[in-house]
Structure 1
């Protein structure tokens, strides 16, 4: 039957090629890394953008080796006024297979404040006709030099008040009817946060906590909106709510450089006849204190809804109950004298609910894979596909008058709550990750929410009802909470679960990775990682979302970036974070431990975020431009620690945190070894960057330095009498093995044995902190101990990932900060930390075996031996790349239970090539037969090679079998003997 299916599709494909038909147009088009499909107002902040697209394939046809041989891009300006000159650029037919990061090569730069549109088509190998064109895709350019525009315009003011809590500002303005309106572009920044209203309507309702948090004196972000469809001739009204956000002395522990909220606003209206008018933030606006009496990221919000004014942002509003007064001119947050900048926010915003997460992979049903729902098992927590808004799964009365709701999932956001009660009735709400700590002897909890681990953050909201006759809904505006449980104290009405819903809030992104197996422990860890990663994406990567911290700790960001980029589309997000790092990089190359922040000098395993994130973004997106932009900053950073090294050597290399929080009672290994690892790691990355960029002199210089340091590392930290590094702990062996060229060949086996023996002596448990945990799983898999790595990840006893959701006290739906969270004190004990989520990269890179770090995709699943295959009998993984979807799925012994075999389904996207590597299923195993689509393509009896377009290689030393393939869907069976 399968043969008939293949033949039928090949016949249909042949028919399609001889009729007068066009190949489908490219899809998932991107410009300057922005996804066109998910960007409603496409603002491209460069005069020379790059384009990417994916090649379509015909529906229901099994096509292979689909290759682009040429492309054509057409770009044109859109005339807004009669005076505008039409601009057109046509690349014409470019003979090239390039479909990612294709540069705009027009003679002239794109102009600022203009509308453009473009379209793309491609030519496919063996087809004469080009594909269909994409639709024309519209975008606009902003004011390119916003900083200069803002600082040189004397009529434009930052406005606010030092006298009152002026958190609502409004202005009415007249647009003459002399000529039709062609465009209306606004620029706005409200610090710390703002919400923007026009003629009574909130602009972009799901957009929250805007603009992104920065070191404001160095970089203040401003956001642009196209209001062309919202503005009308005649009177209009604009309203802005302001929140404290991170721009407050309360949030910044009293730093005087931050202060009251402030607003800057620019509106430029262009008419068809070429005329323009502008509305600026100035002292013609009026402001007051609105219904939000206090707001704080850490401490929540106090809202008295009796102060709401329903029509406050509409024309003709007249308030007889409030005093609207003239705002004061306020100083710019950007320190002009110290090169502070006001720049466009060029990354997706924070959003709430369904608009926050898009999907490029299928997560609920398995297409052409081998897993089914029974294989995957039940999962604790909510699904990312549930629509972005969580409902309680259970509720109860905790204490007298306290109603507690369990959302079933540790999340980040807030709750919309429906109240009904008299005007002036006050309600108090608190949020917590877990319930009160159980009594150890009984393991029972009082089922009150536990808030001690929030430290000084109250994570509470207070709402005063206005007394609407039916009901009213409260939803916080300028705060965010990390929580699973919500307690409402003495509500005015008998609340039900239907009265509460809680939007999940994070930086807008796209889910690009899906990973599931027949191992339920691994599946739950993957669930917890994805929810934890999203929870800690709040315009920058944070460490935790609940207590009085939530900072951009660079150690956490460096450890999680590889995992994050496998799971989510985050190139703009990480570009912004790299900008935040270099904003505060000192002249000597030094960076702090977290940004925004001034915690100088960094621990080397925290400062590594600069080189590590730069390199990982390049690896995952093959984007050389990222290396070009940040390369000199990476060099400066490495040279900073090089200068430190000259006075300390590796033996005394500086330490602040080391291999943070190993599982008690385990001690931390030699801390100088840990930081020396980071130093060598970063030099090695720099060597790789210099090679990509063709900087041969740097390559030579840092290669010599690395070789010298590699020898010193071994000499300083290796014990010749014991044949292991430092004190013999797991972390020391792992970090030495993770550095190329450090462990000499003659002692490598001894070091690996020391690591393996220690893991076994600890009952197959890790003793590693966050730095070495990120390395231990790939080290084991790459050095002949993949079975042990699978046993480690499958453990449910302390300390392990599985213990986090199978212990007697609480069941985690995100990743803990501490291995023993329920049994330790509250001071530093987050239940939603991403630093240990680093293991998620190993899921994709080793368990599924996907490597996209070069033009040739590598598929090399590491599989358990025959004796341990029960740990992972089946696997299914999808990864959406810039070329399209990679799908890897395998099952063991599916067709012939008597044979040592594996069935492997692989999908390679069009315009890509791959090598599929099969590993022996047992030590000394030799491949007997390779089958694809039920046809033998290689046999040890015949030793066939290059059969039917397959290029096959056998490594006689390792037993590895490599098959080179083009795009398309394949089903292989490998039999071993």
Structure 2
């Protein structure tokens, strides 16, 4: 019997690597982590390698001085020899010839560091394979009969084929190349391949980019997915001309003697409609288990109860006129439950500063590697209905164990909240509320086959956004043990963890991480529950910085950038959603900014300028498309669709042309930075001059010289003006800031901002002497605030709301699981913990300090961030019982091969630092007679800052102020 692997090549796990003496660990190839990637397939002839240095906790100032990389296959063996270099990220094989497509390779590496003249241990040999770089031409060279198959006559969503392996030579490899649209599952000899992998392939602009990810039998189940017209019901911006599900399949078997055998999709496959009578992303599944054929994918299967008919050729979804192509799915898949989320950081504090007594209980479920939640309660609001509370708003589905007679149907509904008591009082309440789903029923219907021992149902080709599940027409009551709910999202790794002594901030962080995960479905989406779930560009641009602090998502965002480029017009313009299915074209400037913003943030977080060079021409074309619009309107009337979306009622939106002008100028400033990094000096000079022209125009057009505020005086107008560099003249900057702060105070320390203004507000305040106010705003629990979302009489959120006033907005556009306000999460890392990723190996650590009168808002915090160099850990404690002086304890970890610039802020206005301790050693004193040459320390008297420069290692400081 032939065992087939779908691009599955085993990698060396971190436990093996770290177990070797001083061997590098957390190896990455082309951004894939080898210890978590099941199918290590590299889609480039020139892969790049990254690794971390393994050292003991006591070692400091460790730098790599050299590395050695070896790569081999059955035809080559390449050795870099010792390369004198401190580079440990994005290392390419210097002198290595291009790798061949569809080939198997192994590599290993070792390093030398400043701590030893000896080389480290080698890593184990790590296996990977290269993809087919040009899939259509490669497959055509093997077989010209390959075709897309399915049926235009019937619903054909289950297809099979049997074949014999007739070669007597042992099999060297057997690989399947498969794309099924909209979704597919693959079975080999009765077994589903990769149980946790779901909703394949990822959603793309199908006509431009279609993704593919041995007597024997192969079977393919098809789902409608985003390829079905049902997902594009009005109102939509562009309704694609898609049709019934179809797939293309190519199995290549290579024998040890060099012979090959192919099995491919053609009319010799047979198919039928299986038990899934209908599936829809928005409207769930209708499944009748009486139609199941349990052994349908086994060899020798014979079905006397249903009709299997030959598949027919189907048109390719790829539009060659538009230069469409089939490419490898070069990003992690969507997974359900175990295997969906990996951990690089702990979900608890490190050290002793934060004790369990300091951390209040968080509403909702903790993120875990199991990815499975059990309901916390169940009840029957009315006869025939049973409701389950999962305890956390999630994206995914539930797995039910049901007992009942054959032919009994149950109806499963999903919702984020419960219905409330109404007048007349005989209306049901504590039922699942579904009126905010905007046409998406997100319900499943299941007809039992009547197994006396019970039967299990979970959806295959849909997903839901929900906390509550109700089941109608249950033949027998279910217990909590009969239900488990799987969390579903694109596979990723938790790389950041932030927790503090403030329970409001902790709950916001919890809600942000869950909202972000729930909206990772092969692309960043807006929400997982209603008839939307689209790749809204504004949401993606606003939250990419936060997302990259919390999760390892470079491959997902690179795929999204490819989809943006696929949707880009010849004029450079991009749409509001990608793939384009809602909104406007051209996009609102604060939505289109996703293209330059995401590329820039990927560069910041991964220090990979290749991202910038690959997308530079597309970014430039987009910026120029906005510029052409500006030339017709000027900044005063720059086009917009949404402006500062959803401010808190009754506040109106701020001047939308000003908001669009902010996005335009932000993108021009990114063009200056990007062109400078890539060495395009003419562009740098031209865009710098243009930006200054725009800065002058912005002030002239929008500044009110009588009232000393911008535009309509709304908070957002002041925030955006103050955020843009060189826009607000120095002689009025203080007045504009004072106006902004007084307006916030007049509103009872509340914001009047929508998603654009809110994203810029917190860093702006912290960087300009108003950090106390930023902390008061983020820890508020009255309307409108983040804290109000989970401190109100109506519903307590475990994810972020779409609107500040969700309980009062009724059933319309009213999601409880939106990520667009999650931008504040980046500020937690960059300002509260103070971790700023510079564009080299130096990490700035600058926690912003509340004044002594407000320090109760944030006495302690603990933050972990796993960078490409290793773990950065920052923890501080201001609850220091020291009567001699105000002081702060700061514990931190700097990873090897990196350096840190640690900045200590005054703890109160006018304070000066009098001494710095590291461990039990005095390293600096205000006493002029005390000097030390061991530590590099700066004192900025004008700002009251103390700056310590250190290499890698673990440190504990105490700074005293008076």
TM (normalized to structure 2)?
0.96
- The residue number in structure 2 matching 1:289 is 273
* 1:456 positional shift: 0.3
The more displaced of 432-441 and 884-893 is 432-441
Shift in alpha-carbon separation, 1:622–1:281, aligned structure 2, 3 A:
same
**2:184 aligns with one of 174, 194, 204:** 194
Q: C-alpha offsets along residues 559-591 of structure 1, whole Å, 9 cap, x if unaligned? A: 000000000000000000000000011111100
Shift in alpha-carbon separation, 1:275–1:151, aligned structure 2, 3 A:
closer
The answer as to 2:908 corresponding to 1:922 is: yes
* Structure 2 CA distance for aligned equivalents of residues 769 and 508 of structure 1: 31
Shift in alpha-carbon separation, 1:656–1:22, aligned structure 2, 3 A:
closer
* Structure 1 CA distance for aligned equivalents of residues 567 and 64 of structure 2: 43
- The residue number in structure 2 matching 1:603 is 588
- The residue number in structure 2 matching 1:226 is none
**2:59 aligns with one of 63, 68, 83:** 63
- The residue number in structure 1 matching 2:130 is 141
**1:249 aligns with one of 216, 226, 229:** 229
* 1:923 positional shift: 1.4
* Structure 1 CA distance for aligned equivalents of residues 372 and 928 of structure 2: 59
After superposition, residues 484-633 of structure 1 pair within 5 angstroms as 484-597=467-580, 599-633=584-618
For structure 2, the 5+ residue unaligned runs are 1-18
The answer as to 2:760 corresponding to 1:775 is: yes
Question: In structure 2, the residue corresponding to 1:447 is in which secondary structure?
Answer: coil
- The residue number in structure 2 matching 1:6 is none
Is residue 22–residue 130 contact of structure 1 (8 Å, CA) maintained in 2?
no
* 1:655 positional shift: 1.1
* Structure 1 CA distance for aligned equivalents of residues 116 and 240 of structure 2: 67
Is residue 382–residue 428 contact of structure 2 (8 Å, CA) maintained in 1?
no
Q: C-alpha offsets along residues 745-790 of structure 1, whole Å, 9 cap, x if unaligned? A: 1111111111110111000100000001000001000010000000
Q: C-alpha offsets along residues 409-464 of structure 1, whole Å, 9 cap, x if unaligned? A: 0000001000011111101000000011455999x981011100001000000000
* Structure 2 CA distance for aligned equivalents of residues 275 and 486 of structure 1: 54
Shift in alpha-carbon separation, 1:464–1:961, aligned structure 2, 3 A:
same
Shift in alpha-carbon separation, 1:369–1:596, aligned structure 2, 3 A:
farther
* Structure 2 CA distance for aligned equivalents of residues 469 and 181 of structure 1: 43
* 1:659 positional shift: 0.2
The answer as to 2:816 corresponding to 1:826 is: no
* 1:147 positional shift: 3.4
- The residue number in structure 1 matching 2:298 is 314
Pairwise CA RMSD of aligned residues? 1.5
Shift in alpha-carbon separation, 1:342–1:943, aligned structure 2, 3 A:
farther
- The residue number in structure 2 matching 1:97 is 86
* Structure 2 CA distance for aligned equivalents of residues 726 and 925 of structure 1: 38
* Structure 2 CA distance for aligned equivalents of residues 923 and 943 of structure 1: 26
After superposition, residues 224-623 of structure 1 pair within 5 angstroms as 231=214, 235-253=215-233, 255=239, 257-364=241-348, 366-385=349-368, 387-439=370-422, 446-597=429-580, 599-623=584-608
Q: C-alpha offsets along residues 265-324 of structure 1, whole Å, 9 cap, x if unaligned? A: 000000000000000000110000000000000000000011111110000000000100
* 1:40 positional shift: 2.0
Is residue 253–residue 261 contact of structure 2 (8 Å, CA) maintained in 1?
yes
Is residue 369–residue 889 contact of structure 1 (8 Å, CA) maintained in 2?
no
Is residue 860–residue 879 contact of structure 2 (8 Å, CA) maintained in 1?
no
Question: In structure 1, the residue corresponding to 2:751 is in which secondary structure?
Answer: coil
For structure 1, the 5+ residue unaligned runs are 1-20, 80-85, 224-230
- The residue number in structure 2 matching 1:966 is 951
Is residue 350–residue 862 contact of structure 2 (8 Å, CA) maintained in 1?
no
The answer as to 2:58 corresponding to 1:43 is: no
- The residue number in structure 2 matching 1:113 is 102
Q: C-alpha offsets along residues 636-664 of structure 1, whole Å, 9 cap, x if unaligned? A: 00000111111100000001000000000
- The residue number in structure 2 matching 1:3 is none
- The residue number in structure 2 matching 1:33 is 31
Is residue 206–residue 352 contact of structure 1 (8 Å, CA) maintained in 2?
yes
> How many residues in Structure 1 have an aligned counterpart in Structure 2?
935
* 1:148 positional shift: 2.9
* Structure 2 CA distance for aligned equivalents of residues 892 and 441 of structure 1: 54
* Structure 1 CA distance for aligned equivalents of residues 622 and 932 of structure 2: 48
TM (normalized to structure 1)?
0.94
* Structure 2 CA distance for aligned equivalents of residues 564 and 943 of structure 1: 48
The more displaced of 147-156 and 271-280 is 147-156
* Structure 2 CA distance for aligned equivalents of residues 937 and 75 of structure 1: 47
Q: C-alpha offsets along residues 575-632 of structure 1, whole Å, 9 cap, x if unaligned? A: 0000000001111110000001163010000000000000000000000100010111
* 1:351 positional shift: 0.1
* 1:922 positional shift: 1.1
Question: In structure 1, the residue corresponding to 2:694 is in which secondary structure?
Answer: helix
* 1:897 positional shift: 4.5
Is residue 439–residue 531 contact of structure 2 (8 Å, CA) maintained in 1?
yes
* 1:253 positional shift: 2.5
**2:116 aligns with one of 89, 109, 127:** 127
* Structure 1 CA distance for aligned equivalents of residues 276 and 783 of structure 2: 45
* 1:178 positional shift: 1.4
* Structure 2 CA distance for aligned equivalents of residues 839 and 651 of structure 1: 29
Is residue 438–residue 809 contact of structure 1 (8 Å, CA) maintained in 2?
no
Question: In structure 2, the residue corresponding to 1:246 is in which secondary structure?
Answer: helix
* Structure 1 CA distance for aligned equivalents of residues 578 and 102 of structure 2: 32
* Structure 1 CA distance for aligned equivalents of residues 430 and 370 of structure 2: 28
* 1:105 positional shift: 2.1
Is residue 249–residue 256 contact of structure 1 (8 Å, CA) maintained in 2?
yes
- The residue number in structure 2 matching 1:687 is 672
